Amino acid sequence: MLVMANIETNPYKGVRDFYPEDMAIQNYIFEIMRDTAESYGYEEYSASILESSELYRAKSGKELVNDQTYTFTDRGDREVTLRPEMTPTLARMVAKKQKEFSFPLRWFSIANFFRYERPQRGRLREFWQLNADVFGLESVDADIEIINLAYDIMINFGFSQDNFEIRINDRSLVDKKLAELGIDEDTSDKIKLLIDKKDKIENFENELKKLAGDDFTFNLEANENINKIISGLKKAGVTNVIFTPTLMRGFDYYTGMVFEVFDKNTENNRSLFGGGRYDKLLDIFGGEPVPTVGFGMGDVTIRDMLETYNLIPEIASSTDIYLCVVNKESLDGAKDLANDLRGQGLNIIVGSPDKKVGDQIEKASKNKIPYVICVGPDELSKRRYKVKNLASGKETEVTENGIVSLVFVE
């Protein structure tokens, strides 16, 4: 073996290691996302992170394709990309089986993505994202459902309706206004890009007037589509929805409603995630158009927000019992007991008799395992065990069946 000392132990720049305590939080976040999506009947799908690069050339905003992807050539001379977002993959998958499907489809995935960006708070080179989409429903009810689902995830994380707001717009409003003013398509695209980045641009108003003329204002009124969505959400108790005519959502494939969920915390007022309606995405595959509405919700910003609001719960160990093995002679008996208890659905660690009893118990306590049983010759001959609850300190002497009842009841 080639031995090199002191290789870097940090992960690659902008990606994360998930040690067990971080993984538990990550799994908690994914569980809330998954459970809520499934509560609306959404089915889980997935795909490889590696895609042919042509998929992105055709579809995404240009910024993403040119500067921000991880793109390389494989050993067979194919140009491949680590996916920066789910939508092109999803469109590819739906296009492939379009003729077999009975629409509507309600689908979700929880997957990872790469973007070559400078890592900063809320933005990493690798992130995970829930994507939830409804395919095949033109009705505004699909828009309402998808926003309601996004809202329910926030509530299920423990946020209150006051902690965030849902900004909503219809991209066709600006398009209509620009057409009325006789502005050509090319300039319109520039204007929409400008509006999308307005918070990052100095002299936004001046820049806008340069492109759109002095007559352009944002005195836009919500159309029937947006009003129906807002009132439908209100009926379901979702009242923190605000019509926001400047909301664009960067990617250029949205065709109608767009929405974004904003953190209202004054110190951290920012966009958390969003989505919208994109009815023409399957066009590039040469298939029939399928009306679609969906959103993507990233793990990095949500985890930051959960931390800010102190909403990450204390996560219990997945292990139920630590068997502290008193001496070498008791190890076989402890293993038998462990295997029996595993067969009844309990998760059991068998300690090592090479370690002192005190050290074994300390290890259990450090790992937040709720129960410890010390197993020695006495316990094994009598087949009675003292189950210690490490949180309360309470000790209960029971038979093997008693162990199972105790853990499941408490």
Among 63, 176, 213, 236, binds a copy of itself (CB under 8 A): 236
16-35 residues in contact with a copy of itself (CB under 8 A) are 16-20, 23-24, 26-27
Say if CB 116 and CB 69 are below 8 A apart.
yes
CA 325 to chain centre: 41
Using the minimum distance from each CB to a copy of itself, give the nearer residue, 165 or 252: 252
CA distance 383 to 131: 52
Shortest distance in whole angstroms from residue 75 CB to a copy of itself: 5
Shortest distance in whole angstroms from residue 236 CB to a copy of itself: 6
Among 28, 70, 216, 309, binds a copy of itself (CB under 8 A): 70
Among 29, 59, 168, 330, binds a copy of itself (CB under 8 A): 59
| Amino acid letter, residue 405 | S
C-alpha count within 13 angstroms, C-beta hemisphere, residue 50: 6
CA distance 2 to 51: 34
Site pattern 249..268 for a copy of itself (x: CB under 8 A):
---xx---------------
CA distance 45 to 235: 31
Q: Is 409 one of the binding residues for a copy of itself (CB under 8 A)? A: no
375-404 residues in contact with a copy of itself (CB under 8 A) are none
Among 25, 28, 30, 40, binds a copy of itself (CB under 8 A): 40
312-341 residues in contact with a copy of itself (CB under 8 A) are 317-319, 322, 331-332, 335-336, 339
Structure tokens at 102: 């009975």
74-103 residues in contact with a copy of itself (CB under 8 A) are 74-76, 78, 80, 82, 92-93, 95-97, 102
Among 86, 132, 137, 324, binds a copy of itself (CB under 8 A): 137
- Kind and range of the H or E run holding 242: strand 241-243
Q: Is 66 one of the binding residues for a copy of itself (CB under 8 A)? A: no
Shortest distance in whole angstroms from residue 361 CB to a copy of itself: 12
CA distance 91 to 226: 25
Q: Is 408 one of the binding residues for a copy of itself (CB under 8 A)? A: no
Q: 324 has which bridge partners? A: 374
CA distance 52 to 42: 27
C-alpha count within 13 angstroms, C-beta hemisphere, residue 286: 1
In sequence order, the 6+-apart residues with CB closer than 8 A to the CB of 219 are none
Q: Is 192 one of the binding residues for a copy of itself (CB under 8 A)? A: no
β-strand 348-350 against 321-325: which pairing, if any? parallel
Q: Is 193 one of the binding residues for a copy of itself (CB under 8 A)? A: no
Using the minimum distance from each CB to a copy of itself, give the nearer residue, 125 or 277: 125
CA distance 181 to 192: 14
**Nearest Cα to Cα of residue 241 among 143, 346, 377:** 143
Among 161, 223, 347, 396, binds a copy of itself (CB under 8 A): 347
Among 31, 44, 63, 329, binds a copy of itself (CB under 8 A): 44
Q: Is 299 one of the binding residues for a copy of itself (CB under 8 A)? A: no
Shortest distance in whole angstroms from residue 93 CB to a copy of itself: 5
Q: Residue 349 phi/psi, 5° resolution? A: -100, 135
